[in-house]
Structure 1
Amino acid sequence: MMARNANNSLFLEEWLRVVSGSSVSSSLVKQNSAPSARSIIQAWSEIRESLQSQKFDTRYLQALRVLVSSESTIHVADPQAKLLIAILALKDVSFPFESCTLVMRLLYVWIRKAFRPSQALVGSAVQAIRGVVDDGKSNLQPVLVAQSVLVSGAFACVPSLSGELKVLSLELLCRLLEEECYSLVGSQEELVPVVLAGIGYGLSSSSDVHYVRLLDSLFRIWLKDDDPRGSVTHGLMILHLVEWVVSGYMRSNYVDKMSLFANEVLETSKENYTVFAVLMAAAGVLRASVAGSSGGSQNLEVVSKLRNSAEKRLEAVAKLLVSNGNVTLPTTQRDDLLMKCFAIALARCGTVSSSAPLLLCLASALLTQVFPLGHIYDSFCKDPIGPRLIWVKEHLSGVLFKESGAITGAFCNQYAKASEENKYIVENMIWDFCQNLYLQHRQIALLLRGVEDTLLGDIEKIAESSFLMVVVFALAVTKQWLNPVVSEERKMETSVKILVSFSCVEYFRHIRLPEYMETIREVISCVQENDATCVSFVESIPAYDSLTNPKDLRIEYEWSRDDVQTSRVLFYLRVIPTCIGRLSASAFRRVVASTMFLYIGHPNRKVARASHTLFVAFLSSAKETEENERNQLKEDLVYYYMERSLEGYPEITPFEGLASGVAALTRHLPAGSPAIFYSVHSLVEKASTFNTDESQGKKSDPGNQILDLLLRLVSLVDIQVLPYLMKSLAQLIIMLPKERQNMVLGELYGQVSESDDVIRKPSLVSWLQSLNYLCSNNRTQGSASGPTIDTSNQLAARL
């Protein structure tokens, strides 16, 4: 627990800075390197001499700076503390600016590191500090007041101090807070943890005197003109400060203080208490209560009551945020801060009882505060040429975004325990978020890419993190609904919505997530069980017109350069083959075919290959209730497939995709199909356009690749197509250079000799013998570059 780490830390304010993620420097003195032991001894000597001579010049000030810069390593003994107190007690002496502040800091180091400090010295120190405050030395600069608060609180929590001295210290602390700290916390950001640590020390004191006054100070100092001036960082400091204080109560069995805290802060609504501060305090109580089971039965009962009060306070704040029925758009700056604090509080306080307001608030916080993408996109729409969004980078470095994973985990825990109605509400909130993310980021990406790549990269970092949230949540949804006891209708609806949502955020998937793969497997297995579900999913693919000519874009558009859209379509191209057997021929023709053929011509070969794979999947699919219609569609599509594929070959069409498509159509179309004849003809015609003399027999040459494909078809095409293929191949082979002819003939002889097809083999052997004869005869006539007219006529006659 963090509270235990704080107990091991000497300086509470430093711990608060760390756990809140504050980036503000804490040191009063900037030091490049740690002072040596000799320089520390010399510094104490300079201070002693300055007191004796009452000359507080620059040497004296530098000595104080040396000591404060070594505060983590030096030990301030009682004699040295006495020296410091004597300086504070001086009257009518002019001190350099910041002198009193540095002396206060060293007294703080003394009291935090002393085992049993002198009671008399503590009393003298309190009186001296009061004198400084009363005299207004240094005009009571904020940093001096803050250090006075800190050291007064530190005095009050010393265990060995007498009750009278504790009361004296607490009185000074309360006076400083009530007179100065309303303006103090808003003056300098680095002073906030200092003031909070002073209050924390005071609250942890064994004395009950002034306890309520300290609570009032803690929760009232954030209001100025009825407007909260806190931040998420401040809220986290309050959370962990209360965790530290309440953990101390539990360890020390301060039952009365726990009860008083619950009554004053959690169970009573005070108008002058800032809501976000009370919210974070409740979360701090819950965090402390996790380790509060140790102690007697009386302590357990009080801890349980305290925890119950804290949970009710969280729920009350959540109800406040959703009372207007709008759970996705905070309407005021106060609501905005509350929503942020609410998210981080639920992420850090541990397991909390299920509540509809908690669930709805967490969903809203995730979609508007943790991932404020809608706000970012809206800003561009309103002012696309105005000041760029500097706060995007700031949000990336903020603690709220860094803890998005923990907030998502808290959200999923609340979701798992929610009612069916509330589950349905937040599911639709997430699915709508995915749709909007796709539509809006698509425009921003086209607008900013190549213009403001750094800004676009920052926006996409937020979107990538939101993708992780969607995946984790979707897995939680599948565990709720994709099981045998749930109705088929609910399972099917959920599966389709998850798939559609995943397609919308596919652009942001850059790592392989086990949760993603597990969810995909679960939902696809459901889609594969039902025709209507399969059709519903497929019909969600963007329409062809919107892919090629969108109406909502304000820039010149080229569909193949729209990376966000391409990623979404690629998702469909990969998923549809898994359920192609459930998809009717009419649905494939109406919804899928045009998009498939469009992306066959996509310059990204990964995308083009996926389109070829989908075509192969359809050719190999079967559906008993529509066999004739499906076969007819397969034949119809082949003509356009060959045309579309070969027009982009080799620049766009990947050979592996083309080869798989041709092999599939020869296997799955009926014997003697005109479409197979057309495919062979198209391949031969395309191969003849390449200059095979220049290829020097390279396998990777486009013409040689198509020739190799035609050679493979010898063992694949049916007996009706084979003669036409043999004749076409012969026309190509006779035109090859000698070396390539020999290579091709050797491959064919090997292929035929290994064949056990007794029907085809005799005609293939005869054909090869004639082809070999013609090639040899052609070469002996001295033509190495191609056949003569006589040879061509012989070839036609013999074949």
Structure 2
Amino acid sequence: MARNANSSVFLEEWLRVVSGSSVSSPLVKQNSAAPSARSIIQAWSEIRESLQSQRFDTRYLQALRALVSSESTIHVADPQAKLLIAILSLKDVSLPYESCTLVMRLLYVWIRKAFRPSQALVGSAVQAIRGVVVDDGRSNLQPVLVAQSVLVAELKVLTLELLCRLLEGEGSLVGSREELVPVVLAGIGYGLSSSSDVHYVRLLDSLFGCSIWLKDGSVTHGLMVLHLVEWVVSGYLRSNYVNKMSLFANEALEMSKGNYTLFTVLMAAAGVLRASAAGSSGGSQNLEVVSELRNSAEKRLEAVAQLLCFAIALARCGTVSPSPPLLLCLASALLTQVFPLGNIYESFCKDPIGPRLIWVREHLSGVLFKESGAITGAFCNQYAKANEENKYIVENMIWDFCQNLYLQHRQIALLLRGVEDTLLGDIEKIAESSFLMVVVFALAVTKQWPNPTVSEERKMETSVKILVSFSCVEYFRHIRLPEYMETIREVISCVQENDATCVSFVESIPAYASLTNPKDLFTQRLEYEWSRDDVQTSRILFYLRVIPTCIGRLSASAFRRVVASTMFLYIGHPNRKVARASHTLFVAFLSSAKESEEEDERNQLKEDLVFYYMERSLEVYPEITPFEGLASGVAALTRHLPAGSPAIFYSVHSLVEKASTFNADESQGRKSDPGNQILDLLLRLVSLVDIQVLPYLMKSLAQLIIMLPKERQIMVLGELYGQVAESDDVIRKPSLVSWLQSLNYLCSNNRTQGSGSGPTIDTSNQLAARL
């Protein structure tokens, strides 16, 4: 922000813009078209003639107004400045105050735009201004005149003395005109940024002791103070004004002067932090001074933050009329004071564990945290009555909070788990409570959607933001919350209605590279394992569960590009709940169709993915892969892939090969449930696979069955006979009956030989030949 201000000629105009003020300058009325050089020359000519004839009529005022309204484009040279000073210095002519105000504005344009204004002329200008606003008495002074005088009086000791006198004597005049506040603040900023230390403390007293910043629209005025201080301190850092930085820290931040308004000091401290953060990143020559300045600002913020007890008062006083300042302050109170997680996480870079543990535990037992539910309720009530602009502002504050909570807690959890479990548990109690706040607020957001002022585009955009935010706080969801499910149903119904909204949500999933090899501060100091990152796992689990609900809106290319790699990664997650969710997502994709998409592209992707799915699932079976997940995936691929698909043949082959490894163990006398599970799955496929795959399945099954112990053979054959008997498939049934008769004969023949452990290789070859 400070850099933007430096590129602006007029500080007061920048303050208006950056604070969001809707009040325009009292003097400047911008023309729709740039003035011509001829009209500007004519205006100066009329002013010169008026001075010579000392007739200051309407033509003279019109000329001044024309020049001031064109201030962004005109340039005031030294000869023209002399002309303006001469007008102000007239002794025997009574000029209307508007004339004086316009002349002072043009002098201000001269000072701000001149490369090196003549110091003699500056002195003459100050003397002329003094004659108008000081020496001639104050009874007829107007607020705009005083404000413009403050703007001009910003150079050298002589002008600083005049500036202080104006602020101390007439500063209260501008309180009656809100549009003059940025003008006077800019004058103070110019004075504080000058190279002289004389009157510095008096200027600070005027800034922090003036009550006009607390008039109506105090949030806007507070932002002006914040960015004004940011602009001033940024100038100190660039110019290496070490003394000024120390003096500002001592007088404004470290001392507690009784006449200073706490609100103004709070905003100033925030401005210091913004400026010093930019200065530190830019490489300052005095890092120690900058660090001390930041520390002073942070301590002042902590002290002033006690004012936030207003949040408790508001929560306890019942219904309150809607107010943008109250809404914004409640949002700030919740996100920084009731749930001070950002401060807690940042403190890990500074303080030892012990003090942090005490601080966090004290906060948990404090009244502010205990009132979090009531404060959240008051916040939601204010939100419901706010206008759309302020709703959008606080919504984004909450969604940003969720993103930061995920990023920061993920690192702290990895750092503290197993080392400082008590501290981590206390932090997570605060985070769990903030999860409840986010859910209640998100539900309040969706409750506004029936309002006709909320567009469909806004609903869809917000739906994605809510889902992303919920994914970020999913780790802290430990109870079944009706508000959570109600909100989820509402936002998913919006996402399901639009392809672009669905893709927007899916593309918010963390990239594969960041999941397995993050590049943040803490994980670089740890031996990172993606499967042990519980916070990240909870977030991905949320995506794995939600994506199937809108899979029909997702194109094959988007699924391949964004989802597939992450899905396969988490198929191998040791938490079986997570692995099952990955299998479920795979099943959802296999069973999905998209009307607007070429069927061949989607089917081809399904076949391509099956090969890797079987490989990935079976390599970690049974240690990780849950059988029910694998079974659902295999059943889905046999139902939804085209008849005779090579992927189905590959799946059968892979299952048989895996089952053989377990049967080999059984031949040594060990019973293996995983092997029996896969065999059962293959038996189920007899009624599922298409007629082209069935012969290959029967042959593969026969080779497995004759290797089983005789008790298991009898059981399996009985299951198969029952399955075939109940089948009404007249095409497949004859071949299945013939196959079973042959299989039963070979198994019986093998058992009469007394082998018990299975046939020889010759018997297997006989079976293969007969089938």
TM-score (normalizing by structure 1): 0.59
- Counterpart residue number, 1:124: 124
| 1:487 Cα offset (Å) | 1.7
| 1:480 Cα offset (Å) | 1.4
- Counterpart residue number, 2:256: 269
| 1:790 Cα offset (Å) | 2.4
| 1:129 Cα offset (Å) | 62
Per-residue displacement from partner, 1:274-320 (whole Å, max 9, x unpaired)?
97999999999999999999999999999999999999999999999
Per-residue displacement from partner, 1:505-543 (whole Å, max 9, x unpaired)?
000000011100000000000000000000000000000
| 1:201 Cα offset (Å) | 51
Describe the shift of the 1:615–1:177 C-alpha distance in structure 2 as closer, same or farther (beyond 3 A).
closer
| 1:481 Cα offset (Å) | 2.9
Preserved CA contact (<8 Å) 1:311 1:353: no
Preserved CA contact (<8 Å) 2:663 2:708: no
CA distance in 1, matches of 2:470, 2:227: 37
Preserved CA contact (<8 Å) 2:101 2:144: yes
Per-residue displacement from partner, 1:205-244 (whole Å, max 9, x unpaired)?
999999999999999x9999xxxxx999999999999999
| 1:779 Cα offset (Å) | 1.3
User: Tell me, what secondary structure is at the counterpart of 1:115?
Assistant: coil
| 1:24 Cα offset (Å) | 50
Preserved CA contact (<8 Å) 1:531 1:583: yes
Describe the shift of the 1:745–1:271 C-alpha distance in structure 2 as closer, same or farther (beyond 3 A).
same
Preserved CA contact (<8 Å) 1:612 1:657: yes
Moved more, 667-676 or 234-243: 234-243
| 1:694 Cα offset (Å) | 4.1
Per-residue displacement from partner, 1:765-796 (whole Å, max 9, x unpaired)?
00000000000111112211011132112101
| 1:691 Cα offset (Å) | 3.5
Per-residue displacement from partner, 1:43-62 (whole Å, max 9, x unpaired)?
99999999999999999999
Describe the shift of the 1:345–1:288 C-alpha distance in structure 2 as closer, same or farther (beyond 3 A).
farther
Q: Does 1:137 align with 2:114?
A: no
- Counterpart residue number, 1:446: 414
Per-residue displacement from partner, 1:668-704 (whole Å, max 9, x unpaired)?
0000000000000000000000146749999970000
Preserved CA contact (<8 Å) 1:495 1:524: yes
Describe the shift of the 1:21–1:487 C-alpha distance in structure 2 as closer, same or farther (beyond 3 A).
closer
Moved more, 491-500 or 378-387: 378-387
Preserved CA contact (<8 Å) 2:531 2:574: yes
User: Tell me, what secondary structure is at the counterpart of 2:349?
Assistant: helix
Preserved CA contact (<8 Å) 1:20 1:233: yes
CA distance in 2, matches of 1:467, 1:384: 27
Describe the shift of the 1:271–1:355 C-alpha distance in structure 2 as closer, same or farther (beyond 3 A).
farther
Matches within 5 A, 1:375-394: 375-383=343-351, 387-394=355-362
| 1:437 Cα offset (Å) | 0.1
| 1:664 Cα offset (Å) | 0.2
| 1:93 Cα offset (Å) | 82
Among 567, 574, 577, the residue aligned to 2:538: 567
| 1:134 Cα offset (Å) | 54
| 1:408 Cα offset (Å) | 0.2
- Counterpart residue number, 1:92: 92
CA distance in 2, matches of 1:5, 1:313: 26
Describe the shift of the 1:379–1:660 C-alpha distance in structure 2 as closer, same or farther (beyond 3 A).
same
User: Tell me, what secondary structure is at the counterpart of 1:784?
Assistant: coil
| 1:400 Cα offset (Å) | 0.5
| 1:17 Cα offset (Å) | 45
User: Tell me, what secondary structure is at the counterpart of 1:291?
Assistant: helix
CA distance in 2, matches of 1:731, 1:71: 94
Describe the shift of the 1:141–1:539 C-alpha distance in structure 2 as closer, same or farther (beyond 3 A).
closer
Moved more, 466-475 or 697-706: 697-706
Moved more, 101-110 or 658-667: 101-110
CA distance in 2, matches of 1:189, 1:390: 45
Per-residue displacement from partner, 1:66-123 (whole Å, max 9, x unpaired)?
9999999999999999999999999999999999999999999999999999999999
Describe the shift of the 1:36–1:516 C-alpha distance in structure 2 as closer, same or farther (beyond 3 A).
farther
| 1:486 Cα offset (Å) | 2.7
| 1:382 Cα offset (Å) | 3.1
| 1:741 Cα offset (Å) | 0.1
CA distance in 1, matches of 2:420, 2:55: 59
Moved more, 133-142 or 464-473: 133-142
CA distance in 2, matches of 1:16, 1:760: 82
Per-residue displacement from partner, 1:607-648 (whole Å, max 9, x unpaired)?
000000000000000012221110000000000000000001
Moved more, 191-200 or 609-618: 191-200
RMSD of aligned Cα (Å):
22.1
Describe the shift of the 1:207–1:514 C-alpha distance in structure 2 as closer, same or farther (beyond 3 A).
farther
CA distance in 1, matches of 2:318, 2:289: 19
Preserved CA contact (<8 Å) 2:47 2:60: yes
CA distance in 1, matches of 2:281, 2:618: 76
Per-residue displacement from partner, 1:368-425 (whole Å, max 9, x unpaired)?
0000000000000234667433110000001100010000000000001111110000
Preserved CA contact (<8 Å) 1:698 1:704: no
The number of residue pairs the alignment matches comes to 759
Per-residue displacement from partner, 1:724-763 (whole Å, max 9, x unpaired)?
0000000000000000000000000000000000000000
Describe the shift of the 1:644–1:169 C-alpha distance in structure 2 as closer, same or farther (beyond 3 A).
closer
CA distance in 1, matches of 2:700, 2:634: 16
Preserved CA contact (<8 Å) 1:695 1:701: no
Preserved CA contact (<8 Å) 1:492 1:533: yes
- Counterpart residue number, 2:691: 719
Moved more, 352-361 or 237-246: 237-246
Among 219, 223, 237, the residue aligned to 2:224: 237
Preserved CA contact (<8 Å) 1:21 1:399: no
| 1:164 Cα offset (Å) | 60
CA distance in 1, matches of 2:666, 2:611: 30
- Counterpart residue number, 1:50: 50
Per-residue displacement from partner, 1:347-381 (whole Å, max 9, x unpaired)?
11111111100000000000000000000000002
- Counterpart residue number, 2:25: 26
CA distance in 2, matches of 1:466, 1:454: 19
Describe the shift of the 1:146–1:636 C-alpha distance in structure 2 as closer, same or farther (beyond 3 A).
closer
CA distance in 2, matches of 1:31, 1:623: 55
Preserved CA contact (<8 Å) 1:692 1:736: no
Moved more, 127-136 or 550-559: 127-136
Per-residue displacement from partner, 1:437-464 (whole Å, max 9, x unpaired)?
0000000000000000000000000000
CA distance in 1, matches of 2:162, 2:442: 55
CA distance in 2, matches of 1:490, 1:119: 57
Moved more, 210-219 or 517-526: 210-219
CA distance in 2, matches of 1:562, 1:786: 47
Among 567, 570, 589, the residue aligned to 1:596: 567
Describe the shift of the 1:513–1:129 C-alpha distance in structure 2 as closer, same or farther (beyond 3 A).
farther
CA distance in 2, matches of 1:296, 1:442: 30
Preserved CA contact (<8 Å) 1:726 1:767: yes
| 1:556 Cα offset (Å) | 1.5
Moved more, 659-668 or 778-787: 778-787
Preserved CA contact (<8 Å) 1:61 1:96: no
Preserved CA contact (<8 Å) 1:185 1:222: no
Describe the shift of the 1:36–1:534 C-alpha distance in structure 2 as closer, same or farther (beyond 3 A).
closer
| 1:166 Cα offset (Å) | 60
5+ long unaligned stretches in structure 2:
none
CA distance in 1, matches of 2:256, 2:534: 52
Describe the shift of the 1:429–1:45 C-alpha distance in structure 2 as closer, same or farther (beyond 3 A).
closer
TM-score (normalizing by structure 2): 0.61
User: Tell me, what secondary structure is at the counterpart of 2:154?
Assistant: helix
Describe the shift of the 1:304–1:696 C-alpha distance in structure 2 as closer, same or farther (beyond 3 A).
closer
Identity, % of aligned positions: 94
Preserved CA contact (<8 Å) 1:642 1:682: yes
| 1:343 Cα offset (Å) | 1.1
User: Tell me, what secondary structure is at the counterpart of 2:519?
Assistant: coil
Moved more, 594-603 or 474-483: 474-483
CA distance in 1, matches of 2:63, 2:669: 85
- Counterpart residue number, 1:251: 238
Per-residue displacement from partner, 1:109-153 (whole Å, max 9, x unpaired)?
999999999999999999999999999999999999999999xxx
Preserved CA contact (<8 Å) 2:188 2:207: yes
Moved more, 280-289 or 599-608: 280-289
- Counterpart residue number, 1:371: 339
| 1:39 Cα offset (Å) | 102
Describe the shift of the 1:403–1:10 C-alpha distance in structure 2 as closer, same or farther (beyond 3 A).
farther
Describe the shift of the 1:632–1:750 C-alpha distance in structure 2 as closer, same or farther (beyond 3 A).
same
Preserved CA contact (<8 Å) 2:50 2:60: yes
